[in-house]
Amino acid sequence: MDTKRLKENFARVATYGDEVPLIFYSDLFLRAPQVRDLFPVSMSAQRDRLVGALVRIVADVDAIDELVPYLRGLGLDHRKFGAIAEHYQTVGESLLFTLAHFTGSEWTEDLEKDWQAAYALVAQTMIEAARQDGESAPAWWDASVVSHERRSLDIAVLQVAPVQRLPFRPGQSVAVESADCPRTWRFYSMANAPRDDGLLEFHVRIVDGGALSAALVRRTRPGTRLRLGPAVGALTLDSTSRRNIVMIAGSTGLAPLKAIVEQLTASKDPPRTSLFFGARTSDGLYDLPGLEKLAAQHDWLTVMPAISHPQMDDPRFPAQHGSIIDVAIRHGPWQDHDAYICGSTAMIEAAVQRLTAGGMPRSRIRTEDFGWSHQ
Ligand SMILES: Cc1cc2nc3c(=O)[nH]c(=O)nc-3n(C[C@H](O)[C@H](O)[C@H](O)COP(=O)(O)OP(=O)(O)OC[C@H]3O[C@@H](n4cnc5c(N)ncnc54)[C@H](O)[C@@H]3O)c2cc1C
Ligand code: HEM
């Protein structure tokens, strides 16, 4: 396989931008109309994701060892979408049609053979990972909402019961799909440690114009059916560490950190833990009473709320004013601690920057990026 030629060809095709996924999906849905039902009504997000994945795959096509873990993860991820082995054949045909279309007269038999071989390798790795996973885990977990509490205009706390127990570690997340917003999968973090009754708590905040977050906050009721993917994520407790902990949560970024706090409550000798919980206004401190109750029960836990955009009637509110990062840094120094941070991309970047500037090694900071552009 001439990997240099594949890379050059893909770089050339990629210059056509959005046209590439447009042609690919038009061809796929013509070839196999039944496959359309696996995808959400709006394909805008998917277009970028597919090209993003192909860019990643082609970039590493000659470093297969690095590629394999990614492809295995992707194959596993595709089980919940309903992708089966036969679909990979059709997707491969549409991919080759698309590449040939944009390569034009320079498309050769050799190039076609190389692409076929590369795709076969990718598809086999994904299919095999999915097959192996299928031996021990369901493709998704059916679940239903048992309680739905609207804590503010844009935030709800949900208790969810999976039909089958869903294994996870505190701090992890699962992809969620709702019967009310079919085939739109988004990640949400469990806000509790595993419980005997198997219940999962989720904290969801509406993103402006968001499809699933709006459905989960506004239209979900006890009884609403959900589907959940397997637990993923590395914002989990470093159980080898004896250091004290600082946690910084922006809005519903609190969820995975609260799960870790719950895990610590069960440990024999929990580290001193300072949890900073920030929101724009006091409305956004949707879980403060519960956190304060926990802090009152456990002397190793301190909870410090902060609001960045206080309203006229906020001054009496018992929260610090300012960005959660400023407030957290003000209460340092933290260089001898471990840090756990969750919230928007901008918040995480700023917190990591400030903590490392204060002497904390990057390796002691664990983060989960919810991806929002604002807190
Ligand atoms: C690992 C992980 C765990 C998460 N856990 C939680 C959680 O516990 N609670 C929670 O409230 N949220 C969580 N999120 C965010 C969540 O997955 C969704 O991104 C969010 O709810 C928006 O989904 P949506 O379908 O409503 O919006 P979409 O329909 O996907 O998007 C609507 C609009 O918002 C924009 N948008 C969407 N997502 C983002 C983004 N990430 N950054 C910037 N703009 C965006 C889109 O461009 C679009 O214009 C988590 C995300 C990740 C990756
Ligand atoms: C080489 C093969 C493939 C690659 C590289 C690929 C890549 C991707 C990526 C990166 C995503 C986004 C992942 C996520 O949101 O979790 C995705 C989602 C998806 N893929 Fe694939 N995929 C491949 C094959 C297939 C096949 C064979 C099918 C079945 C028809 C399929 C159906 C889907 C569906 C339904 C989604 C979800 C769409 C959405 O949420 O908007 N994919 N794919």
Our mutation pick for probing the ligand 2 site, out of 61, 70, 74, counting the most ligand atoms within 8 A of Cβ, is 74
Is residue 205 very low, low, confident or very high in pLDDT (cuts 50, 70, 90)?
very high
Distance CA 367, CA 24 (A): 35
- Which is the closest atom of ligand 1 to the Cα of 186? 17
In the structure encoding, which two tokens stand for residue 126, read together?
A: 């994904």
Average pLDDT in the 311-321 region?
A: 67
Q: For residue 333, say if its preceding peptide bond is cis, omega within 30 degrees of 0.
A: yes
CA distances from 287 to 17, 176, 224, 255 (A): 43, 22, 23, 10
pLDDT at position 375: 44
Q: Match 């054949």 to its residue by tokens.
A: 89
CA distances from 52 to 9, 55, 191, 351, 375 (A): 16, 5, 30, 27, 26
pTM: 0.93
Ligand 2 contacts CB of residue 25 (under 6 A): no
The residue nearest atom 46 of ligand 1, judged by CA position, is 210
- Which is the closest atom of ligand 2 to the Cα of 175? 16
pLDDT at position 131: 97
pLDDT at position 320: 75
Ligand 2 contacts CB of residue 39 (under 6 A): yes
Ligand 2 contacts CB of residue 78 (under 6 A): yes
Is residue 315 very low, low, confident or very high in pLDDT (cuts 50, 70, 90)?
low
Quick check: 373 pLDDT over 70? no
Rounded percentage of the chain residues whose pLDDT exceeds 90: 85
Is residue 318 very low, low, confident or very high in pLDDT (cuts 50, 70, 90)?
low
Average pLDDT in the 154-172 region?
A: 98
**pLDDT, tens digit, 9 for 90 and up, residues 31-46:** 999 999 999 888 776 6
Ligand 1 contacts CB of residue 188 (under 6 A): yes
**54 sits in which H/E element:** helix 44-59
